[in-house]
Structure 1
Amino acid sequence: MSHNIDWEDLFGSDDEDEAVEQDENTKQIITFDAIPGLKLIKQALSHQEQMSLTHALIDRNYFTGNANQAMLFGELPNFIKWIEPWIVENYPDLFGQDILNRQPLFDQAILNMYKKGEGITSHVDLLRFEDGILIISLMSSCIMTMRPARKDATSYHAENTDDNNKYDILLCPGDVLALSQEARYDWEHGIPSQLVDEMDGQKIERGTRISVTLRRLKHGEEIQSTTATTSKRSVHDAQADS
Protein backbone atom coordinates (compact mmCIF):
# COMPACT_ATOMS: atom_id res chain seq x y z
CA MET A 1 0.00 0.00 0.00
CA SER A 2 1.42 3.35 -1.01
CA HIS A 3 1.25 6.23 1.46
CA ASN A 4 1.27 9.55 -0.40
CA ILE A 5 2.22 11.95 2.37
CA ASP A 6 3.05 15.62 1.95
CA TRP A 7 5.80 15.84 4.55
CA GLU A 8 6.18 19.61 4.38
CA ASP A 9 2.45 20.08 4.79
CA LEU A 10 2.55 17.88 7.90
CA PHE A 11 5.72 19.20 9.53
CA GLY A 12 6.45 22.56 7.90
CA SER A 13 9.75 23.52 6.33
CA ASP A 14 13.20 23.33 7.89
CA ASP A 15 13.40 27.14 7.91
CA GLU A 16 10.18 27.43 9.89
CA ASP A 17 11.47 25.03 12.50
CA GLU A 18 14.92 26.53 13.17
CA ALA A 19 13.76 28.85 15.95
CA VAL A 20 11.76 26.10 17.61
CA GLU A 21 14.63 23.62 17.56
CA GLN A 22 16.89 26.06 19.40
CA ASP A 23 14.77 25.50 22.52
CA GLU A 24 13.93 21.82 21.97
CA ASN A 25 15.66 20.74 25.19
CA THR A 26 14.02 23.34 27.42
CA LYS A 27 10.35 22.42 27.10
CA GLN A 28 8.36 22.68 30.31
CA ILE A 29 6.59 19.68 31.79
CA ILE A 30 2.89 20.39 32.32
CA THR A 31 1.34 18.66 35.33
CA PHE A 32 -2.29 18.17 36.33
CA ASP A 33 -3.14 18.60 40.01
CA ALA A 34 -6.28 16.46 39.73
CA ILE A 35 -4.39 13.54 38.16
CA PRO A 36 -1.06 12.81 39.88
CA GLY A 37 1.41 11.20 37.49
CA LEU A 38 -0.08 12.71 34.33
CA LYS A 39 2.55 14.88 32.64
CA LEU A 40 2.55 16.53 29.23
CA ILE A 41 5.41 18.01 27.21
CA LYS A 42 4.14 20.18 24.36
CA GLN A 43 6.12 19.84 21.11
CA ALA A 44 8.74 17.76 22.89
CA LEU A 45 9.94 16.30 19.59
CA SER A 46 11.50 18.71 17.14
CA HIS A 47 10.44 19.02 13.53
CA GLN A 48 13.29 16.72 12.45
CA GLU A 49 12.63 14.16 15.18
CA GLN A 50 8.94 13.96 14.28
CA MET A 51 9.69 13.58 10.59
CA SER A 52 12.42 10.97 11.14
CA LEU A 53 10.25 8.87 13.42
CA THR A 54 7.24 9.07 11.09
CA HIS A 55 9.39 8.20 8.07
CA ALA A 56 10.79 5.17 9.92
CA LEU A 57 7.32 3.87 10.77
CA ILE A 58 6.01 4.32 7.22
CA ASP A 59 9.14 2.98 5.51
CA ARG A 60 9.08 -0.23 7.57
CA ASN A 61 5.60 -1.03 6.26
CA TYR A 62 3.96 -1.42 9.66
CA PHE A 63 0.74 -0.02 8.21
CA THR A 64 0.46 -1.81 4.87
CA GLY A 65 -2.79 -3.28 3.61
CA ASN A 66 -5.45 -3.17 6.31
CA ALA A 67 -2.96 -3.11 9.19
CA ASN A 68 -3.40 -0.16 11.51
CA GLN A 69 -1.36 -1.43 14.44
CA ALA A 70 1.99 -3.06 15.14
CA MET A 71 3.25 -4.41 18.47
CA LEU A 72 6.96 -4.75 19.20
CA PHE A 73 8.29 -6.85 22.09
CA GLY A 74 11.81 -7.21 23.45
CA GLU A 75 14.73 -5.01 22.43
CA LEU A 76 13.28 -2.03 20.60
CA PRO A 77 14.64 -0.91 17.20
CA ASN A 78 17.08 1.98 17.08
CA PHE A 79 14.58 4.40 15.57
CA ILE A 80 12.63 4.10 18.85
CA LYS A 81 15.42 3.17 21.25
CA TRP A 82 16.95 6.68 21.21
CA ILE A 83 13.89 7.96 23.07
CA GLU A 84 15.02 6.31 26.32
CA PRO A 85 18.28 8.28 26.85
CA TRP A 86 16.60 11.38 25.43
CA ILE A 87 13.95 11.22 28.17
CA VAL A 88 16.46 10.50 30.94
CA GLU A 89 18.78 13.32 29.87
CA ASN A 90 16.27 16.04 29.01
CA TYR A 91 13.28 15.27 31.23
CA PRO A 92 14.49 13.66 34.48
CA ASP A 93 11.30 14.76 36.26
CA LEU A 94 8.94 13.06 33.83
CA PHE A 95 8.91 9.83 35.87
CA GLY A 96 10.06 8.84 39.34
CA GLN A 97 13.64 7.66 39.74
CA ASP A 98 12.50 4.07 40.25
CA ILE A 99 11.16 4.15 36.70
CA LEU A 100 13.95 6.18 35.09
CA ASN A 101 16.67 3.99 36.60
CA ARG A 102 15.36 0.66 35.33
CA GLN A 103 17.07 -1.07 32.43
CA PRO A 104 15.71 -1.05 29.87
CA LEU A 105 13.29 1.79 30.42
CA PHE A 106 10.86 0.24 27.89
CA ASP A 107 10.72 -3.14 26.15
CA GLN A 108 7.33 -3.01 24.44
CA ALA A 109 5.92 -0.61 21.86
CA ILE A 110 2.52 -0.26 20.25
CA LEU A 111 2.39 1.64 16.97
CA ASN A 112 -1.05 2.84 15.90
CA MET A 113 -2.29 4.62 12.80
CA TYR A 114 -5.65 6.35 13.15
CA LYS A 115 -7.53 7.44 10.08
CA LYS A 116 -9.44 10.69 10.25
CA GLY A 117 -12.14 10.45 12.92
CA GLU A 118 -11.01 7.16 14.46
CA GLY A 119 -10.51 6.75 18.21
CA ILE A 120 -9.97 4.14 20.90
CA THR A 121 -12.15 2.90 23.74
CA SER A 122 -11.43 4.29 27.18
CA HIS A 123 -9.28 1.81 29.12
CA VAL A 124 -6.71 1.13 31.82
CA ASP A 125 -3.53 -0.66 30.79
CA LEU A 126 -3.10 -4.30 31.76
CA LEU A 127 -1.36 -4.96 35.06
CA ARG A 128 1.18 -7.14 33.23
CA PHE A 129 2.91 -3.86 32.40
CA GLU A 130 4.93 -1.93 34.95
CA ASP A 131 4.30 1.64 36.03
CA GLY A 132 5.40 4.31 33.58
CA ILE A 133 3.83 4.68 30.11
CA LEU A 134 4.98 7.09 27.40
CA ILE A 135 2.80 8.21 24.48
CA ILE A 136 4.20 10.10 21.48
CA SER A 137 1.70 11.79 19.17
CA LEU A 138 2.50 12.34 15.48
CA MET A 139 0.98 13.90 12.34
CA SER A 140 -2.37 15.17 13.67
CA SER A 141 -3.98 16.52 16.82
CA CYS A 142 -6.68 14.82 18.88
CA ILE A 143 -8.37 15.03 22.26
CA MET A 144 -7.55 12.34 24.81
CA THR A 145 -10.10 12.00 27.59
CA MET A 146 -9.16 10.96 31.12
CA ARG A 147 -11.82 9.54 33.45
CA PRO A 148 -11.60 7.95 36.91
CA ALA A 149 -11.48 4.19 36.46
CA ARG A 150 -14.20 2.05 37.98
CA LYS A 151 -12.81 0.53 41.16
CA ASP A 152 -14.47 -2.80 40.33
CA ALA A 153 -13.03 -2.93 36.82
CA THR A 154 -10.91 -6.04 36.35
CA SER A 155 -10.42 -6.03 32.60
CA TYR A 156 -8.45 -3.91 30.17
CA HIS A 157 -11.73 -2.66 28.74
CA ALA A 158 -12.92 -0.51 31.65
CA GLU A 159 -15.03 2.12 29.83
CA ASN A 160 -16.35 4.51 32.44
CA THR A 161 -19.00 6.65 30.74
CA ASP A 162 -19.30 9.21 33.56
CA ASP A 163 -18.60 12.65 32.08
CA ASN A 164 -18.95 14.56 35.34
CA ASN A 165 -15.31 14.13 36.28
CA LYS A 166 -13.48 13.89 32.98
CA TYR A 167 -10.48 15.82 31.73
CA ASP A 168 -9.73 16.47 28.07
CA ILE A 169 -6.07 16.64 27.03
CA LEU A 170 -5.19 18.10 23.63
CA LEU A 171 -2.41 16.07 22.01
CA CYS A 172 -0.66 17.82 19.12
CA PRO A 173 2.05 16.51 16.79
CA GLY A 174 5.31 16.16 18.67
CA ASP A 175 3.67 16.10 22.10
CA VAL A 176 4.76 13.52 24.67
CA LEU A 177 2.40 12.32 27.40
CA ALA A 178 3.56 10.35 30.45
CA LEU A 179 1.34 8.28 32.74
CA SER A 180 2.53 6.95 36.07
CA GLN A 181 1.18 6.47 39.60
CA GLU A 182 -2.53 7.36 39.79
CA ALA A 183 -2.69 8.41 36.14
CA ARG A 184 -1.55 4.95 35.12
CA TYR A 185 -3.63 2.81 37.52
CA ASP A 186 -6.64 4.85 38.67
CA TRP A 187 -7.61 6.72 35.51
CA GLU A 188 -8.84 5.49 32.14
CA HIS A 189 -7.64 7.15 28.97
CA GLY A 190 -9.30 7.03 25.58
CA ILE A 191 -9.87 8.95 22.36
CA PRO A 192 -13.44 9.62 21.19
CA SER A 193 -14.25 8.75 17.59
CA GLN A 194 -15.08 12.07 15.95
CA LEU A 195 -14.00 14.15 12.99
CA VAL A 196 -13.62 17.41 14.89
CA ASP A 197 -12.41 18.05 18.44
CA GLU A 198 -13.29 21.15 20.43
CA MET A 199 -11.00 22.64 23.07
CA ASP A 200 -11.50 26.00 24.79
CA GLY A 201 -14.01 27.01 22.13
CA GLN A 202 -11.66 26.15 19.27
CA LYS A 203 -12.65 23.52 16.72
CA ILE A 204 -9.78 21.29 15.59
CA GLU A 205 -10.26 19.06 12.55
CA ARG A 206 -8.52 15.71 12.73
CA GLY A 207 -6.34 14.14 10.08
CA THR A 208 -4.44 10.86 9.95
CA ARG A 209 -2.58 10.38 13.23
CA ILE A 210 0.16 8.01 14.39
CA SER A 211 0.93 7.23 18.01
CA VAL A 212 3.88 5.42 19.58
CA THR A 213 3.20 4.01 23.06
CA LEU A 214 6.10 2.65 25.12
CA ARG A 215 5.79 0.38 28.15
CA ARG A 216 7.74 -2.25 30.07
CA LEU A 217 6.56 -5.77 30.87
CA LYS A 218 6.72 -6.90 34.49
CA HIS A 219 9.31 -9.47 35.50
CA GLY A 220 8.07 -12.92 34.55
CA GLU A 221 6.08 -11.56 31.60
CA GLU A 222 9.06 -11.42 29.24
CA ILE A 223 8.32 -12.18 25.61
CA GLN A 224 10.98 -13.01 23.05
CA SER A 225 11.70 -10.15 20.67
CA THR A 226 8.99 -10.15 18.04
CA THR A 227 6.82 -7.94 15.87
CA ALA A 228 3.13 -8.40 15.15
CA THR A 229 0.74 -6.38 13.01
CA THR A 230 -3.03 -6.37 13.09
CA SER A 231 -6.03 -4.60 11.61
CA LYS A 232 -7.84 -4.74 14.96
CA ARG A 233 -7.85 -1.99 17.51
CA SER A 234 -9.93 -3.68 20.22
CA VAL A 235 -8.40 -3.13 23.63
CA HIS A 236 -9.53 -6.65 24.54
CA ASP A 237 -8.01 -8.44 21.58
CA ALA A 238 -5.06 -6.33 20.50
CA GLN A 239 -4.07 -4.51 23.69
CA ALA A 240 -4.20 -1.29 21.72
CA ASP A 241 -3.16 1.96 23.29
CA SER A 242 -3.25 5.61 22.58
Structure 2
Amino acid sequence: MDRVLTAAGLPPGVVYVRDLLSGDEEEDIRDRLDAAEWSTTLKRHVQHFGYLYDYRARAVTADAYLGKLPEWLEALASRLVMYGYFADLPDQVIANEYLPGQGISAHVDCVPCFGDTIVSISLLSPCEMIFRERSSSRSLAVLLHPRSGVVLKGAGRYDWTHEIPARKSDVVGGTRLDRGRRISLTFRKVVRATGTPS
Protein backbone atom coordinates (compact mmCIF):
# COMPACT_ATOMS: atom_id res chain seq x y z
CA MET A 1 0.00 0.00 0.00
CA ASP A 2 1.79 3.16 -1.15
CA ARG A 3 -0.04 5.30 1.36
CA VAL A 4 1.79 3.52 4.20
CA LEU A 5 5.29 4.79 4.99
CA THR A 6 7.80 2.81 7.04
CA ALA A 7 11.20 4.13 6.11
CA ALA A 8 14.55 5.33 7.39
CA GLY A 9 12.89 8.71 7.91
CA LEU A 10 10.83 7.33 10.81
CA PRO A 11 11.80 5.74 14.13
CA PRO A 12 11.57 1.93 14.31
CA GLY A 13 8.02 0.89 15.15
CA VAL A 14 6.46 4.04 13.68
CA VAL A 15 4.17 3.78 10.65
CA TYR A 16 2.76 6.79 8.80
CA VAL A 17 -0.48 6.25 6.86
CA ARG A 18 -1.84 8.74 4.32
CA ASP A 19 -5.57 9.10 3.66
CA LEU A 20 -6.77 7.07 6.62
CA LEU A 21 -10.01 9.07 6.42
CA SER A 22 -12.03 10.51 3.56
CA GLY A 23 -12.73 14.23 3.28
CA ASP A 24 -16.38 13.64 4.21
CA GLU A 25 -15.35 11.68 7.31
CA GLU A 26 -12.98 14.46 8.33
CA GLU A 27 -15.77 17.05 8.09
CA ASP A 28 -18.19 14.82 9.99
CA ILE A 29 -15.71 14.31 12.85
CA ARG A 30 -14.99 18.04 13.06
CA ASP A 31 -18.71 18.82 13.18
CA ARG A 32 -19.37 16.19 15.88
CA LEU A 33 -16.57 17.54 18.05
CA ASP A 34 -17.61 21.16 17.57
CA ALA A 35 -21.19 20.29 18.49
CA ALA A 36 -19.88 18.99 21.83
CA GLU A 37 -18.05 20.89 24.57
CA TRP A 38 -14.30 21.43 24.37
CA SER A 39 -12.51 21.41 27.75
CA THR A 40 -10.43 24.53 28.38
CA THR A 41 -8.38 23.21 31.33
CA LEU A 42 -5.23 23.12 29.16
CA LYS A 43 -3.77 25.76 26.85
CA ARG A 44 -5.23 23.75 23.98
CA HIS A 45 -8.82 22.50 23.93
CA VAL A 46 -9.45 18.79 24.49
CA GLN A 47 -12.26 16.22 24.66
CA HIS A 48 -11.95 12.82 26.36
CA PHE A 49 -13.83 9.67 25.40
CA GLY A 50 -13.88 6.30 27.19
CA TYR A 51 -11.63 7.41 30.05
CA LEU A 52 -10.51 10.77 31.39
CA TYR A 53 -6.74 11.10 31.43
CA ASP A 54 -5.38 13.06 34.41
CA TYR A 55 -2.56 15.19 32.98
CA ARG A 56 -1.29 16.30 36.40
CA ALA A 57 -1.15 12.82 37.93
CA ARG A 58 -0.26 11.20 34.58
CA ALA A 59 -2.75 8.46 35.37
CA VAL A 60 -6.03 6.83 34.41
CA THR A 61 -8.03 5.57 37.37
CA ALA A 62 -11.21 3.51 37.69
CA ASP A 63 -13.26 6.58 38.58
CA ALA A 64 -12.09 8.19 35.33
CA TYR A 65 -14.31 5.86 33.27
CA LEU A 66 -16.67 7.93 31.13
CA GLY A 67 -18.50 5.11 29.38
CA LYS A 68 -18.14 3.32 26.07
CA LEU A 69 -16.81 5.17 23.06
CA PRO A 70 -19.60 6.77 21.01
CA GLU A 71 -20.59 4.76 17.94
CA TRP A 72 -18.72 6.99 15.48
CA LEU A 73 -15.46 6.61 17.41
CA GLU A 74 -16.01 2.90 18.00
CA ALA A 75 -16.39 2.48 14.23
CA LEU A 76 -13.02 4.19 13.72
CA ALA A 77 -11.46 2.09 16.48
CA SER A 78 -12.77 -1.08 14.81
CA ARG A 79 -11.24 0.03 11.51
CA LEU A 80 -7.85 0.43 13.20
CA VAL A 81 -8.14 -3.17 14.46
CA MET A 82 -9.23 -4.37 11.00
CA TYR A 83 -6.15 -2.71 9.44
CA GLY A 84 -3.97 -4.53 11.97
CA TYR A 85 -2.74 -1.45 13.83
CA PHE A 86 -4.34 -2.57 17.12
CA ALA A 87 -4.63 -6.16 18.34
CA ASP A 88 -7.50 -5.22 20.69
CA LEU A 89 -10.16 -2.55 20.36
CA PRO A 90 -8.89 0.78 21.77
CA ASP A 91 -11.15 2.15 24.49
CA GLN A 92 -9.77 5.64 25.14
CA VAL A 93 -9.62 8.60 22.76
CA ILE A 94 -8.45 12.17 23.28
CA ALA A 95 -9.37 14.85 20.76
CA ASN A 96 -6.93 17.78 20.81
CA GLU A 97 -7.50 21.10 19.08
CA TYR A 98 -4.37 23.03 18.02
CA LEU A 99 -4.61 26.59 16.79
CA PRO A 100 -1.66 28.11 14.88
CA GLY A 101 1.17 28.64 17.38
CA GLN A 102 0.03 25.84 19.70
CA GLY A 103 1.74 22.48 20.12
CA ILE A 104 2.53 19.74 22.60
CA SER A 105 5.88 19.21 24.31
CA ALA A 106 8.07 16.14 23.82
CA HIS A 107 6.61 13.14 25.64
CA VAL A 108 6.05 9.41 25.71
CA ASP A 109 2.41 8.47 26.29
CA CYS A 110 1.94 7.19 29.85
CA VAL A 111 3.52 3.73 29.94
CA PRO A 112 1.63 2.33 32.98
CA CYS A 113 -1.66 3.76 31.67
CA PHE A 114 -1.82 2.59 28.07
CA GLY A 115 -0.99 -0.46 25.99
CA ASP A 116 1.77 -0.96 23.46
CA THR A 117 0.08 0.83 20.56
CA ILE A 118 -0.82 4.49 20.07
CA VAL A 119 -2.56 5.78 16.93
CA SER A 120 -3.00 9.49 16.25
CA ILE A 121 -5.13 10.74 13.36
CA SER A 122 -4.69 14.32 12.07
CA LEU A 123 -7.51 16.49 10.76
CA LEU A 124 -7.84 19.83 8.94
CA SER A 125 -4.28 21.22 8.77
CA PRO A 126 -0.80 19.84 8.11
CA CYS A 127 1.90 20.16 10.76
CA GLU A 128 5.28 18.68 11.54
CA MET A 129 5.79 16.07 14.27
CA ILE A 130 9.29 15.69 15.73
CA PHE A 131 10.57 12.39 17.12
CA ARG A 132 13.60 12.36 19.47
CA GLU A 133 15.46 9.25 20.55
CA ARG A 134 15.67 9.24 24.35
CA SER A 135 19.14 7.59 24.46
CA SER A 136 20.81 9.95 21.98
CA SER A 137 20.50 13.34 20.31
CA ARG A 138 18.97 11.82 17.17
CA SER A 139 15.78 13.43 15.89
CA LEU A 140 13.48 12.78 12.93
CA ALA A 141 10.55 14.75 11.55
CA VAL A 142 7.44 13.78 9.62
CA LEU A 143 4.87 16.08 8.02
CA LEU A 144 1.40 15.03 9.16
CA HIS A 145 -1.10 15.62 6.39
CA PRO A 146 -4.83 16.05 7.05
CA ARG A 147 -6.61 12.67 7.31
CA SER A 148 -3.32 10.84 7.93
CA GLY A 149 -2.46 8.58 10.84
CA VAL A 150 0.69 7.83 12.84
CA VAL A 151 1.02 4.43 14.51
CA LEU A 152 3.49 4.14 17.41
CA LYS A 153 4.64 0.67 18.48
CA GLY A 154 7.79 -0.88 19.93
CA ALA A 155 10.76 1.47 20.06
CA GLY A 156 8.69 4.25 18.49
CA ARG A 157 6.24 3.96 21.37
CA TYR A 158 8.72 3.65 24.26
CA ASP A 159 12.22 4.79 23.22
CA TRP A 160 11.39 7.95 21.28
CA THR A 161 9.49 11.05 22.38
CA HIS A 162 7.15 12.82 19.98
CA GLU A 163 6.09 16.45 19.92
CA ILE A 164 4.33 19.12 17.88
CA PRO A 165 6.48 22.27 18.06
CA ALA A 166 4.49 25.36 19.09
CA ARG A 167 4.78 27.49 15.96
CA LYS A 168 2.56 29.05 13.31
CA SER A 169 4.25 27.47 10.30
CA ASP A 170 6.59 24.64 9.37
CA VAL A 171 9.39 24.69 6.82
CA VAL A 172 9.46 21.40 4.92
CA GLY A 173 11.85 20.86 2.01
CA GLY A 174 12.51 24.59 1.86
CA THR A 175 8.81 25.45 1.62
CA ARG A 176 6.97 27.30 4.38
CA LEU A 177 3.61 25.77 5.26
CA ASP A 178 1.30 27.94 7.33
CA ARG A 179 -0.69 26.06 9.92
CA GLY A 180 -4.44 26.36 10.29
CA ARG A 181 -6.68 24.88 12.93
CA ARG A 182 -5.73 21.25 13.50
CA ILE A 183 -7.52 18.49 15.40
CA SER A 184 -5.96 15.19 16.39
CA LEU A 185 -7.66 12.01 17.59
CA THR A 186 -5.40 9.79 19.69
CA PHE A 187 -6.55 6.18 20.17
CA ARG A 188 -5.19 4.09 23.06
CA LYS A 189 -6.01 0.95 25.02
CA VAL A 190 -6.18 1.47 28.78
CA VAL A 191 -4.15 -1.04 30.80
CA ARG A 192 -6.58 -2.81 33.08
CA ALA A 193 -6.09 -2.30 36.81
CA THR A 194 -7.96 -3.42 39.92
CA GLY A 195 -11.27 -1.66 40.14
CA THR A 196 -11.28 -0.50 36.52
CA PRO A 197 -14.66 -1.15 34.85
CA SER A 198 -14.66 -3.84 32.14
| TM-score using structure 2 length | 0.81
Give the aligned length. 179
Q: Choose the corresponding residue for 1:180, options 153, 164, 167.
A: 153
Structure 1 residues 189-209: Cα deviation after superposition (integer angstroms, max 9, x where no partner): 001111110111111000111
- SS of the aligned residue for 2:81 comes to helix
Indicate if the aligned counterparts of 2:132 and 2:162 stay in contact, CA closer than 8 A: yes
- Residue type of the alignment partner of 2:45: N
Indicate if the aligned counterparts of 1:107 and 1:214 stay in contact, CA closer than 8 A: yes
**Aligned CA distance change for structure 1 residues 27 and 77 (closer, same or farther; 3 Å):** farther
Indicate if the aligned counterparts of 1:56 and 1:79 stay in contact, CA closer than 8 A: no
Indicate if the aligned counterparts of 1:124 and 1:149 stay in contact, CA closer than 8 A: no
- State the alpha-carbon separation in 1 of the partners of residues 161 and 108 from structure 2: 5
> Aligned ranges for residues 85-164 of structure 1 at < 5 Å?
85-89=78-82, 91-92=83-84, 95=85, 99-100=86-87, 102=88, 105-127=89-111, 128-150=113-135, 162=137
- State the alpha-carbon separation in 2 of the partners of residues 210 and 54 from structure 1: 8
Indicate if the aligned counterparts of 2:114 and 2:190 stay in contact, CA closer than 8 A: yes
- Residue type of the alignment partner of 1:169: V
Percent identical: 31
| 1:32 CA displacement | 2.9
**Aligned CA distance change for structure 1 residues 123 and 205 (closer, same or farther; 3 Å):** same
- State the alpha-carbon separation in 1 of the partners of residues 130 and 185 from structure 2: 17
- State the alpha-carbon separation in 2 of the partners of residues 166 and 78 from structure 1: 37
- State the alpha-carbon separation in 1 of the partners of residues 148 and 7 from structure 2: 16
- Residue type of the alignment partner of 2:123: L
> Aligned ranges for residues 23-102 of structure 1 at < 5 Å?
28-33=3-8, 35-62=11-38, 68-72=45-49, 73=51, 74-89=67-82, 91-92=83-84, 95=85, 99-100=86-87, 102=88
| Structure 2: stretches of 5+ with no match in the other structure | 52-66
- State the alpha-carbon separation in 2 of the partners of residues 143 and 31 from structure 1: 17
- State the alpha-carbon separation in 2 of the partners of residues 41 and 35 from structure 1: 14
**Aligned CA distance change for structure 1 residues 60 and 27 (closer, same or farther; 3 Å):** farther
| Structure 1: stretches of 5+ with no match in the other structure | 1-25, 151-159, 226-242
Q: Choose the corresponding residue for 2:140, options 154, 167, 172.
A: 167
Structure 1 segments (4+ residues) deviating >3 Å: 63-67, 221-225
Query: Quick check: which has more Rg, 1 or 2?
Result: 1
Indicate if the aligned counterparts of 1:117 and 1:207 stay in contact, CA closer than 8 A: no
**Aligned CA distance change for structure 1 residues 123 and 48 (closer, same or farther; 3 Å):** same
| 1:149 CA displacement | 1.8
